[in-house]
């Protein structure tokens, strides 16, 4: 250690380990299984070898929070620790946008609270020193089943926006889904991620714009177009409106009204004629629109927002390649139906024909295991990584992903599962 290096040995080791894993993550010869082991190691803060459990609290960092709010990502004990830090870092209206559900936010709350209705069955005397968390979707293998859900306008949370998120995801191998109205182009996000990302499509009500967005995404290598179908009825984002009251800034410069102004800072609309567009969400969409989209999408077509058996059965008839069970993170409708509760009927209706993913309320590794046990192929996480982004930028996102992966690996070991296929309906008990 030279005289300018004032890090403690533990801090230096942590930095060196992270840099080493970043180096390996960029390697074209690293296998998915090896990357999975590295993800688990980073999350646990140990080497890739199995390590003995430790309960020595003196080994934990003693950095102090300020007024109960963490001041560095490594202080976080769980992903919830990032939300107060994000709130402190953001203007009131921007935090309100991130925090808001619809109406009284009941569906938003139930998305997470419903996980408490599901107990986990633990198993004993199984060698779980080596755990493989890799999953394959559309021929692409990821070292973790935790994907990053599309979240719009991430420039409202941090100047580096989706690029910072993608760089963090590159280290841990998480799949990324980019929103149509993201603050960063799909080309830049793909470059930052170092691999193709999925593209979530807000179709607009102008087919020529829809077609141009799809062509651009596929030209950038997007293997899947994810059509959002859960924003057709409008919404009442009371929490956002309430926080906006406390925001003393003049927001008209960015939110002056009109579609052209709304997307003027959204790079996916650069050089597009949006003069005929009146609505981002395509409120007149029917299954005929899905058929029309199916004809132009060269890769996989995913529907995001399906929550019932009936719509799943119809989706299969229209050639959909996957479904994401979603209520837009509790931001679509005040249905009081959490996505984890809707998941089993969608899985049953799909009957193994297509992958079923899910988002909404995922805050713990145990939540991830419960969804996989109920038939999900993978899960998508939204707000937690945005809390990390808002609070600390790329390091905050990386910390959130590491915590979720660490927790997931821990609960996998406790149920005796060494790979995802060993997580089954027998791993959980759904309380009525």
Range with the poorest average pLDDT among 54-68, 105-119, 182-196, 321-335: 54-68
Give 3-state DSSP helix, strand, coil % of the chain, rounded to 5: 45, 10, 45
Write the CB contacts of 257 (distance below 8 Å, at least 6 apart in sequence): none
How far is Cα 148 from Cα 42, in angstroms, rounded to an integer? 18
- b/e for 173-194, b at 16 or more Cβ within 10 A? bbbbbbbbbbbbbbebbbebbe
Write the CB contacts of 291 (distance below 8 Å, at least 6 apart in sequence): 318, 319
Say which residue the tokens 């926006």 belong to: 161
Q: Of 418, 398, 413, 408, which is closest to residue 370 (Cα–Cα)?
A: 408
Contact 194, 171 (CB under 8 A): no
Contact 356, 347 (CB under 8 A): yes
Name the residue ranges covered by the structural domains of the chain.
31-430
SS3 40: helix
Q: Tell me the CA distances in angstroms from 325 to 26, 33, 62, 379, 400, one per residue in order.
A: 32, 27, 40, 9, 22
Range with the poorest average pLDDT among 49-63, 336-350, 382-396: 49-63
Would you place residue 46 in the very low, low, confident or very high pLDDT band (cuts 50, 70, 90)? very low
Class of domain 31-430: alpha beta
Would you place residue 252 in the very low, low, confident or very high pLDDT band (cuts 50, 70, 90)? confident
Would you place residue 210 in the very low, low, confident or very high pLDDT band (cuts 50, 70, 90)? very high
**Residues 300, 303, 309: CA angle, nearest 5 degrees:** 125
For 340, counting Cβ atoms within 10 Å of its Cβ (0-12 exposed, 13-18 middle, 19+ buried), the class is: buried
What pTM was computed for the model?
0.88
Range with the poorest average pLDDT among 34-48, 227-241, 335-349: 34-48
| Catalytically annotated residue among 94, 112, 158, 328 | 328
The pLDDT of residue 53: 55
Would you place residue 164 in the very low, low, confident or very high pLDDT band (cuts 50, 70, 90)? very high
- 112 given a catalytic annotation: no
Averaged pLDDT for residues 423-428: 98
% of the chain beyond a pLDDT of 70: 85
């Amino acid at each position: 250690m030279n005289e300018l290096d004032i890090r403690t040995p533990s801090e230096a080791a942590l930095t060196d380990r992270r840099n080493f894993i970043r180096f390996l993550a960029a390697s074209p010869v690293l296998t998915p299984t090896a990357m999975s082991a590295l993800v688990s190691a980073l999350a646990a803060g140990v080497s890739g070898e199995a390590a003995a459990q430790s309960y020595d609290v003196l080994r934990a960092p003693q950095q102090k929070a300020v007024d109960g709010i963490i001041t560095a990502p490594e202080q976080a004990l769980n992903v919830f620790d990032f939300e107060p830090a994000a709130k402190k870092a953001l203007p009131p209206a921007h935090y309100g946008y991130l925090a808001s559900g619809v109406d009284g936010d009941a569906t938003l709350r139930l998305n997470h609270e419903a996980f408490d209705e599901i107990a986990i069955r633990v198993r004993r005397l199984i060698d779980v020193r080596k755990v493989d968390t890799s999953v394959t979707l559309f021929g692409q293998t990821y070292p973790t089943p935790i994907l990053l859900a599309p979240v719009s306008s991430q420039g409202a949370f941090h100047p580096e926006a989706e690029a910072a998120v993608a760089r963090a995801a590159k280290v841990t191998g998480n799949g990324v889904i980019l929103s149509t109205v993201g603050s960063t182009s799909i080309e830049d996000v793909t470059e930052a991620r170092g691999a193709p990302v999925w593209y979530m499509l807000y179709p607009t009500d102008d087919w020529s714009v829809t077609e141009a967005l799809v062509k651009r995404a596929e030209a950038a290598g997007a293997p899947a177009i994810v059509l959002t179908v859960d924003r057709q009825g409008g919404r009442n984002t009371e929490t956002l409106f309430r926080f906006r009251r406390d925001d003393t800034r003049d927001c008209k410069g960015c939110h002056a009204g009109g579609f052209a102004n709304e997307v003027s800072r959204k790079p996916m609309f650069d050089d597009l004629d949006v003069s005929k567009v009146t609505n981002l969400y395509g409120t007149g969409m029917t299954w005929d629109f899905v058929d029309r989209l199916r004809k132009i999408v060269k890769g996989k077509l995913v529907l995001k927002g399906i929550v019932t058996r009936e719509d799943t059965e119809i989706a299969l008839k229209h050639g959909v390649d996957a479904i994401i069970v979603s209520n837009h993170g509790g931001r679509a409708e005040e249905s009081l139906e959490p996505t984890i509760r809707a998941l089993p009927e969608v899985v049953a209706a799909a009957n193994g024909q297509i992958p079923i993913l899910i988002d909404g309320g995922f805050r713990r590794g145990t939540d991830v295991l419960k969804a996989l046990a109920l038939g999900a192929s993978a899960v998508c996480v939204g707000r937690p990584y945005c809390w990390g982004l808002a609070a600390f930028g790329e390091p905050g996102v990386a910390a959130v992903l590491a915590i979720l992966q660490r927790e997931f690996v821990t609960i996998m070991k406790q149920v005796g599962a060494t790979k995802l296929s060993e997580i089954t309906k027998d791993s959980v008990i759904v309380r009525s």
